[in-house]
Amino acid sequence: MRRRDFVLAASALASAGAQSRKTLPSVLGPLAAQDLGVTLPHEHIAVASQEITRSQRDSLLSLWDMLGAQLRQNGVRTLVELTPADSGRDIALMKEVSQSTGLNILCATGYYVASARPANFLSGGVGAAEAYMTRELVEGIGDSGVKAALMKVAVGGQPANPSDNILLEAAGRVQKRTGAPISCHATTPDHRRHLVETLEKHGADMSRVAVGHADTNATLEESVELLSKGCYALYTIWGITNPRLIGFRGEVAADHSGRLIRGLLDKGLVKQILFSIDFAPTCLRGEGIDLHLYEVPGRTANYAFTFVLPLLRKLGVSDDEIHQMMVANPRRHLFGEG
C-alpha cells in the first residue's frame, strides 16, 4: 500500500469510528454488539505451515460440525479466530465452518512470533507492518471479501527483540489510528510487561488490549500488576499439567488458571478477565491433523464447558461473574462498550 493510500484508508476508518463501534466484521458479514453472545475469544479453526489439503479440509469440516453442535448446545455464539496469515490463516475454511455451524467467526490480521514472520519483516520496518494490518482491517484480506476484526500480536524469544519491537510499535499505532482491538500472545511476565508498556507508549488504548496466555508462568501478583494497565487478562492453559508443552517454568496444577481467576475476583477485577481454550487443530505436512490437546483428552474448544466452568463453580464463581467474563467482557474488548 502506498503511503498516500494508507493514510486515506486509515483516515476513512477513523472517520467512521462511531459506526464501526456499532458493527464488527465477521467472516460472513457485519455483527452488532448484541450478536456476539457467549464468546470464546482465543481459538483456531486450523493452524498450518503449508496449504491445507482437500482431505485435511474435509476432516476439519467434520470436526467443526461436531464441535459446533456442542458449542451451540452450550450457548456459544461467537469464536474469535486468532490465526494470522503466517500460521496458515484460511478465510475460505472459516466461512465454511461458520456457515455449517451457525457460529459467528471473527478473524484477525497481525503476526505470530518472530520465527514465523515473513523473511522481509525486519527490513520492512514499522511502516510495512502498520500498512499491512491497516489494509486488512480497512480494505479487507486479499480478494476474500472479508475484513479483519482485530489484530493478533504475538511476542516471544528474547524480550524486546527488534522484530517484536517493530510489531508492537506498528500495532500500537494502528490501534490508535483505527480503534481496532488487539489480542496478544505473551507467555512470561517479562514479555507481558514489555508488551503492555510498548503498546501504551505508541498510543494504544489499553482497554482494547487482551493479553493472551496471561496465566502462563503467572502469579496472582503479576496478574494484578498487569491489569493495573487497564487491559484484559486472557487465560488459556486450562487443565494442562505438563509444563514442557507450554514453556511453564516449574510445576503447573490443573486448577492454576481457575485459582488465578478466583484471586482476581476477590480483588474486584471481574471486568478485566477473559478466558478461552486456544484449541488449535494443526495440519501436518503432507496429510493428517494433530488435534494438539496437550496430553489432555477432550481438550477441544468445548473444554470450556466440560472442565473450565465446573472448576470455576467449584471455586465459588457465580453465574453472574461467568456471564461477565464470557459475554460482557468480550463485547467491551471488541466493541469498546459494556
* Pair 25, 148: CB distance under 8 Å: yes
Q: Supply the pLDDT for residue 227.
A: 98
| CA atoms within a 13 Å half-sphere pointing along the CA-CB vector of 143 | 0
State which fold the 3-16+36-335 domain adopts: TIM Barrel (3.20.20)
* Pair 14, 177: CB distance under 8 Å: yes
Bridge partners (DSSP) listed for residue 153: 111, 184
Residue 3 has pLDDT above 90, yes or no: no
pLDDT, mean of residues 154-170: 97
Bridge partners (DSSP) listed for residue 79: 40, 105
Residues 102-116 as b/e (b if ≥16 CB within 10 A, e otherwise) read ebbbbbbbbbbbbeb
The candidate with the shortest Cα–Cα distance to 103, out of 80, 137, 85, is: 80
Distance between CA atoms of 232 and 329, rounded to whole angstroms?
Answer: 9
Distance between CA atoms of 213 and 41, rounded to whole angstroms?
Answer: 12
Distance between CA atoms of 8 and 13, rounded to whole angstroms?
Answer: 9
Strands (E), the chain: 23-26, 29-32, 38-43, 47-48, 76-81, 104-111, 150-154, 182-185, 209-212, 232-235, 273-275, 282-283, 289-290
pLDDT tens per residue across span 268-312: 999 999 999 999 999 999 899 999 999 999 999 999 999 999 999
Say what the pTM is.
0.94
Distance between CA atoms of 140 and 259, rounded to whole angstroms?
Answer: 40
pLDDT tens per residue across span 180-207: 999 999 999 999 999 999 999 999 999 9
pLDDT tens per residue across span 112-139: 999 999 999 999 999 999 999 999 999 9
